[in-house]
Amino acid sequence: MLDKAERRSFAAGEDVFTFGKQDFNIFIIVNGTAHVLSSRGWQIASVGPGEILGEMAFLENGRASAGVKAYTKLETFALSWTTLHLLFESYPHLGSRFYRSIAVSLSRRLRQQISD
């Protein structure tokens, strides 16, 4: 998958996603930290290397349900929704593993929010 991705960097303070806008990419964080922000701009989570951004909009084919701002310099791999869909059509097993990974990630985030 990563050979189909585009490497993207964000400076500290730069928006990765804006609440309510559609970006058509997901991002996998390689280095750095970002803050996930509510529609009112409140920090609701911090994310770092290995985490995925934009997965909820991808799953729902919708708009960003939160904003994301780079807290430090952020290095990512960007995958367009179109690229992902084409990969999953060609390699269905890859798609099922990807969707399972997203489900586990979202479940962990929800558990963390509930316990905080």
- Residue by residue, pLDDT tens for the chain (116 residues) are 778 899 999 999 999 999 999 999 999 999 999 999 999 999 988 999 999 999 999 999 999 999 999 999 999 999 999 999 999 999 999 999 999 999 998 898 888 878 86
What CATH homologous superfamily does 2-115 map to? Jelly Rolls (2.60.120.10)
Q: Is 24 left (phi over 0), alpha (psi -120 to 50) or beta?
A: left
pLDDT, tens digit, 9 for 90 and up, residues 23-44: 999 999 999 999 999 999 999 8
The CA distance from 81 to 24, in Å, is: 5
Domain-by-domain residue ranges, the chain?
Answer: 2-115
Report d(CA 45, CA 84) in Å as an integer: 25
pLDDT score for 115 = 81
Taking the C-alpha atoms of residue 85 and residue 106, their distance in angstroms, rounded to an integer, is: 20
pTM of the complete model: 0.88
